[in-house]
Amino acid sequence: MEELSRDEHAGALFLVDERGIPLDFLYTLPVRPTRVQRVIYGRALSSYLRGELIPQALVGELRDPDLPSLWLLRDRSLLEGASVWWRKVPAVWISSTSERPLESVGDLKDLGGEVLAQLDPVSSPYRISSYPPDRRSLEEAVRVLCEVSSKVELEEPFSRALEALRIAVQEGGGS
């Protein structure tokens, strides 16, 4: 999700395989709340747009066979609204850290509600939270991320998706 300006939000959903090869790219045109909506929603408007409305619209476009095994999120606020849009696919927010690497790949360090996870043998661990927010979902997500990170840099597809979203919005097309 991207806040284009105070009055515009847009979002993209970029599905890639375990090698980072694009499978699908969906995006919204800019959402422009009315003045009445800004008053009614108040400070919750951005959270609602970014965490529920836009993701739900994008995920709703996918048929069940096209759903990924994991939603990988760059925006932690998306976890707050995940119960609305997740469609039984675990959602995981990841963030790189500058922490010292943990002992071995797959190791977890509990941080209370989130973990540090060592996803590859040399990089710093990632900070990870999940929806549903349970240990089993988190451990399964880490297993998948360890496998994927051996083939592709985990945060790189986010850069491609954001750049593609910006181009799509500039060109005024919709998906």
pLDDT digits over 4-56, tens only?
777 788 999 999 988 889 999 999 989 999 999 999 999 999 889 988 899 99
Number of Cβ within 10 Å of residue 110's Cβ equals 10
Cα 75 to Cα 103, 119, 154: the distances in Å are 28, 19, 14
Say yes or no to pLDDT of 174 above 80: no
Say yes or no to pLDDT of 173 above 70: no
Number of Cβ within 10 Å of residue 117's Cβ equals 26
CA distance 93 to 77: 9
Residue 65, pLDDT score: 81
Q: What is the CATH number of the domain that holds 150?
A: 3.30.2170.10
* pLDDT, the chain, mean: 89
Say yes or no to pLDDT of 168 above 80: yes
Residue 81, pLDDT score: 84
CA distance 146 to 103: 14
Cα 117 to Cα 27, 158, 168: the distances in Å are 30, 19, 34
Say yes or no to pLDDT of 97 above 80: yes
Strands 108-110 and 126-131: unpaired
Q: Which domain holds residue 96?
A: 2-171
Residue 86, pLDDT score: 86
The total domain count for the chain is 1
* C-alpha closest to that of 25 among 171, 172, 169, 165: 165
